[in-house]
Amino acid sequence: MSNYTVPGIDQNSAKQIIDGLQERLTDYNDLHLILKHVHWNVVGANFIAVHEMIDPQIDLVRGFADEVAERISTLGGEPIGTPAGHVQDRKPLEYPKNKANTQDHLKQVNDLYTQVIEGVRESMGEAGELDSVTEDIYIAHAAELEKFQWFVRAHLDDGTGNIA
């Protein structure tokens, strides 16, 4: 930690917020790598539509990673984003499929999003008591991730609101 942090936030709170942000950074870095992996390996009669749907989401998630990392720096921390670093202390997000058709990939991506969003909402709750700025970043991220999950789920919905 630096000898400075955001004015009006004490060092202990800053440290706690940074811990949450670092977890999200690791998740987002894993997530954008996986989404590109899906983008390359998806096949089937709906190929082009799904292939193209994923790319703008990757840009968003990469922007989220940048935003939480720069918030860490702003709070006086050191964001860790190296490939070795982000697998060291924890299991990276798992994604078991390589080449597969669109529906199979989207089911897997749906599960992945549930995991990532739960992490964001957890950090959002913690940040809310410490720093409105960081909380607001999480709210904006959740909004976009949840909307994309709707896109994913809409492909899987059987027309009656059920996902098999």
Residue placing its CB nearer to a copy of itself in the complex, 23 or 104: 104
One-letter amino acid of 75: L
What's the CA gap between 81 and 66, in Å, rounded?
10
**Distance in Å, CB of 164 to a copy of itself, minimum:** 10
- Look-up of token digits 């709707």: 150
Residue placing its CB nearer to a copy of itself in the complex, 23 or 128: 128
**Distance in Å, CB of 89 to a copy of itself, minimum:** 13
What's the CA gap between 131 and 151, in Å, rounded?
31
Dihedral of the alpha carbons of 153, 96, 20, 18, in degrees to the nearest 10: -130
Of 36, 35, 54, the C-alpha closest to 46 is 54
Residue placing its CB nearer to a copy of itself in the complex, 24 or 155: 155
**Distance in Å, CB of 140 to a copy of itself, minimum:** 7
Residue placing its CB nearer to a copy of itself in the complex, 16 or 121: 121
**Distance in Å, CB of 110 to a copy of itself, minimum:** 9
